[in-house]
Amino acid sequence: MVYTPSIQNNQMVWKGSRQVEDLTDAVAREMSADQWMTLTYWYRMLPAEGLPARNRFDPLEVWSAVARIVLFEIVGQGEDVIFRLVGEDFEMRAGSGLRGQRFSEIGNPAQVPPTLAIVEEMYRDGRPILSAGSLATLDRGYVGYRRLAMPFAEEDGGPARYILCCYAFDR
């Protein structure tokens, strides 16, 4: 795929904390209902120390969001991510065959560095991040999105090894 210049690079809207109580009403209004549901589910799974284990994530708890969820595996200390699970709505917009692919090899070159900077930040501090950007779609040019990214560990209490993203698209 040939990419045209990005309309809008990733922009951080909110960087969360380990306390759901710190989430302001203004930030909550920036999220879709599915993103809010997914984030509150992540907070319920959060152990006292570290991050929740990926295998504790039950898609039935956030069933209405599943089509817009993407699960990435972190490579190294955040140098790259590999697509592990791609929801149907995301796949319809971005293309099929993403599973097993590295983002750095198939992502829009203009969006790879800012996206991987967010990954490295999540790897270091394990906090959820809400960002906004645009995605080159297969048939509609660019479409705006809000991406809620939440880190998960291999085991409860461990460091970030996965990032679960829930997308909300403008159209």
pLDDT digits (tens, 9 = 90+) for 64-116: 999 999 999 999 999 999 999 999 999 988 888 899 999 999 988 888 998 89
Q: What mean pLDDT do residues 26-54 have?
A: 93
**pLDDT for the residue numbered 96:** 81
Express as a percent the part of the chain with pLDDT over 90: 63
pLDDT of residue 26 exceeding 90:
no
User: Measured between alpha carbons, how far is 120 from 81 in angstroms, rounded to an integer?
Assistant: 10
User: Measured between alpha carbons, how far is 168 from 36 in angstroms, rounded to an integer?
Assistant: 11
Type of residue found at 169: F
Phi, psi (rounded to 5 degrees) for 140: -125, 25
Report the 10 Å Cβ neighbour count for 167: 24
**pLDDT for the residue numbered 5:** 39
Q: Output the pTM of the full model.
A: 0.90
Residue that is written with structure tokens 């993103």 in the block: 35
The domains found in the chain, sorted by start residue, are 11-169 (3.30.450.20)
